[in-house]
């Protein structure tokens, strides 16, 4: 699958941008919504990040009147172009595919300089911790992990709201700026909007490339997404 994104003007940090995504099959045919299988309540998940792997966005484009064209918007906070991965499952096989493209900017992006391995983050007064079942994550070997969220006084936080039929999403970007991983908690889909989750969620991490990975945990609290960043080192 081929993807491209165009905007009316180059990206500018701090300025909202409206963008159009074009999806095509290898033969040039447009990819229609009916060609895609819904996953976690959406047919297309856009995983967007800058070159320093610090400003992450998870967007869901909507179809326009033009076949194969989808619109979305976001507000970059960093200079330079952003890379976007289109996470889709096309019919008939339903295999997960990532089509990658760049959103251009007139400025130069920042390099990846912070490769610190970190398993704890604090966001909006809540503490997030990624707990691994083993010391080392290796390429091609499933690794069990838990995401634990606590309040400032150390109590478990149990008010996670459903976000795309689950209580959290983990998305990681490798230092090669090409490889992405997208994971969800174990268990059945969360379909009741009144359901609440926490303080711990279990995941399985499966890495395809060695090196540093910036991992983001996305949860929803009081109707708003929160993103907690972690740093992992994947062994060969």
User: 175-207 pLDDT, tens per residue?
Assistant: 999 999 999 999 999 999 999 999 999 999 999
Domain boundary assignment for the chain: 2-103, 120-235
The fourth-level CATH superfamily of domain 120-235 is Immunoglobulins (2.60.40.10)
Establish whether domains 2-103 and 120-235 are of one fold: yes
Mean pLDDT (the chain) is 96
**Which residue matches tokens 């969220």?**
149
User: 217-230 pLDDT, tens per residue?
Assistant: 999 999 999 999 99
User: 46-95 pLDDT, tens per residue?
Assistant: 999 999 999 999 999 999 999 999 999 999 999 999 999 999 999 988 88
For residues 47 and 182, the answer to whether their CB atoms sit within 8 Å is yes
pTM for this entry: 0.94
The fourth-level CATH superfamily of domain 2-103 is Macroglobulin (MG2) domain (2.60.40.1930)
| E-assigned strand segments in 80-223 | 82-88, 97-103, 120-123, 126-132, 137-138, 143-150, 169-174, 180-183, 200-205, 211-221
Structure tokens at 182: 């997208």
């Amino acid at each position: 699958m081929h993807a491209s994104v165009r905007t009316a003007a180059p990206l500018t940090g701090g300025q909202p941008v409206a963008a159009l995504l074009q999806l095509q099959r290898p033969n040039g045919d447009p990819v229609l919504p009916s060609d895609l299988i819904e996953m976690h309540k959406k047919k297309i998940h856009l995983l967007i990040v800058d070159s320093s792997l610090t400003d992450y966005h998870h967007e869901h484009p909507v179809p326009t009147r033009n076949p194969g064209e989808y619109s979305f918007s976001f507000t970059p906070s960093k200079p330079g172009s952003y890379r976007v991965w289109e996470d889709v499952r096309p019919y008939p096989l339903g295999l997960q595919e990532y089509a990658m493209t760049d959103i251009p900017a007139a400025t130069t992006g920042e390099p990846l300089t912070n490769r610190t391995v970190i398993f704890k983050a604090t966001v909006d007064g809540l503490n997030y911790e990624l707990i691994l079942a083993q010391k080392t994550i290796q390429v091609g070997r499933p690794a069990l992990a838990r995401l634990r969220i606590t309040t400032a006084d150390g109590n478990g936080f149990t008010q996670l709201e459903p976000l795309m039929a689950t209580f959290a999403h983990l998305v990681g970007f490798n230092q090669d700026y090409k490889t992405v991983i997208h994971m969800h908690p174990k268990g059945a889909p969360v379909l009741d909007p009144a359901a609440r989750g926490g303080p711990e969620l279990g995941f399985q991490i499966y890495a395809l490339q060695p090196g540093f990975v910036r991992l983001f945990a996305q949860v929803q609290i009081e109707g708003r997404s929160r993103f907690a960043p972690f740093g992992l080192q994947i062994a060969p």
